[in-house]
Structure 1
């Protein structure tokens, strides 16, 4: 069914499917076009609206035109950035970016430490560039993206769910999650730098090409705290022996010395990820417990600081 739908989508770009890249929330294929390679995306139904996906594509295209290394949106043969297929599912195509993923979730970095630190400094600089260029854009009327603000992260109904109600959490874990939630509600202030953010800067979404990095998969992007992008990066590095050095390299590249808030947003991401698991993974998936353990570990460490 998915393959047939992808084949239907490819015709809108006069493309030919070459291989399946990812079959998760979005289904992503590599596609050959007359002008070169592209990524074809079948967007998950019921997550982002057509208006929100169109806004994401507009933003990425504007960033790419400004020289930010992100994938530009490719118009269909009819000039549309977003196509509605026969089933009602949305499809889009984006330009191909060369590179290999920075790493895999849960897998220690195999690169030499110096190279790992240099890449995280480059990633921090890229996030700074992305935020600064975005601040110079005039968003079109009707621009719509989710909100990763205080309510979206630790309000009564966070965007990814009430993480403190996770059914696999023990009473002690739930108590820590609630304490972390309440602490972040106090710390996250409207005076912090906010704007459009990627919101999902995971290793698999960072492509490495030599010493350069680029950023893909803006599916979760939205309006939120800028340092949340750094916290998302660091949430996957908490078990790395060189975590403090990775954190400091990322912060140096971004140009911030606010370690306390970067750590707070790292905690915010680990909490949000617990909420993410609930409607998406089978009840017996081990990721539930590993995400809970990581969030509790991060919370106990962050909350222990004065």
Structure 2
């Protein structure tokens, strides 16, 4: 999987071919990001004005029905919430999802969304703002409220993100144990943590008030800041999961930093402006943070050829064990 996905040249060929499926004659596809999927800005080669953002999915990651579910939710968010998300754009045939044959004989599902202006919240210099995280919490709550009250949510076909599919027996991103940096003692400690996480999540339960359609990757790199506006992008991982997973996702890859509690408190303040947040929810924040950390550990292991992995892996073991030690001190 990783070696095929790592072939940037192949994905560039797919992107160039995909342009023919959209009414952007003469457009060029410039790579924006190469991670779980390949993302390109489609722009006019002379003026460099963007037409939209093309996302090419990894074959087998989503079905057509799952892509259609994502597009349906985007339209609902734009129509029935104050949030700003990138509207999906149709191809020449009027459809949102275009299936493009690749030079390797495989089919690649492609979607194009509006190009949103702004700078990502994750700016690489550790200057995370509590004001922005308060806004992010409020935005997250609007998403959760919309999916809670929308009758169409029950008809959406999307991935279910729970213990089993993140760090259990059927992990979608692979097994966290495959990450090569842990010694035997550290793996044993993390395994103990997993058993506690599972027990606590079974007791926490799945109810409409705490489990529903979520973004599932609502971190800094998927949030655009444009003056006073925050815009949400990249719903590729959206699916059914615990609402608290979106809080854990917002601090992905920085969970062990000393300023994170301030960000969490700010996120919580923003969330409570729109949706309730119970004492039971608050108690389980660390459970979801560690579960997300282990899910990301699996992602690092299964995407070793992905651009961000080498940088993100530095200090990963130490940071993860710090979180595990803290978790066992509280819940062990």
Give the TM-score normalised by the residue count of structure 2.
0.82
Cα distance between partner residues in 1 of 2:53 and 2:138:
25
Count, aligned residues: 299
User: Map of 1:136-215 to 2, 5 A cutoff?
Assistant: 136-139=149-152, 143-188=156-201, 189-191=204-206, 193-215=210-232
* 1:66 aligned onto 2:85: no
Please say if residues 163 and 177 of structure 1, whose CA atoms lie closer than 8 Å, have aligned partners that are also in contact.
Answer: no
Change (3 A) 1:228 1:141: closer
Paired position in structure 2 for 1:280: 303
Residues of 1 paired with 2:255 and 2:14: CA distance? 39
2:268 is aligned with 1:251: yes
Of 130, 142, 158, which aligns to 1:129? 142
Distance of 1:264 and 1:50 partners within structure 2: 33
Give the whole-Å Cα distance in 1 for the aligned partners of 2:174 and 2:114: 32
Deviation at 1:292, TM superposition (A): 3.2
By relative contact order (CA 8 Å, sep 6+), the higher-ranking structure is 2
- What is the alpha-carbon root mean square deviation over aligned residues? 2.5
SS at match of 2:152: coil
**Which segments of 5 or more consecutive residues in structure 1 lack a partner in the other structure?**
none
Report how far residue 239 of structure 1 moved: 4.1
Instruction: From the superposition, tell whether residues 25 and 235 of structure 1 become closer, same or farther in structure 2 (CA, over 3 Å).
Output: closer
Q: Aligned partners of 1:13 and 1:91: how far apart in 2?
A: 11
Which residue of structure 2 lines up, in the alignment, with residue 265 of structure 1? Answer: 288
Query: Deviations 1:221-246 (Å, cap 9, x if unpaired)?
Result: 11110011001112333343322211
Q: CA deviation at 1:160?
A: 2.2
List aligned pairs for 1:89-100, cutoff 5 A.
89-100=108-119
Q: C-alpha separation between the residues in 2 aligned to 1:279 and 1:153?
A: 13
In the alignment, structure 1 residue 231 sits paired with structure 2 residue 256: no
Relative distance call for 1:11 and 1:128 in structure 2 (3 A) is same
Gaps of 5+ in 2: 1-9
- Structure 2 CA distance, aligned partners of 1:56 and 1:293? 36
Cα deviation code 1:247-297 (max 9, x no counterpart): 100111112354321222111110111111222105994644633332221
User: Which region of structure 1 is more displaced relative to structure 2, 144-153 or 82-91?
Assistant: 144-153
Contact 2:173 2:302 in 1 (8 A): no
Question: For the structure 1 residues 264 and 138, does the alpha-carbon distance in structure 2 shift closer, same or farther, using more than 3 Å as the test?
Answer: same
Structure 2 Cα separation of the partners of residues 150 and 36 of structure 1: 39
Q: Deviations over 1:2-57 (max 9, x none)?
A: 33321221122212125321233322111248x96311111111222222222212
Displacement of 1:86 in angstroms is: 2.3
Tell me, yes or no, if the aligned pair for 2:253 and 2:312 is still in contact at 8 Å. no
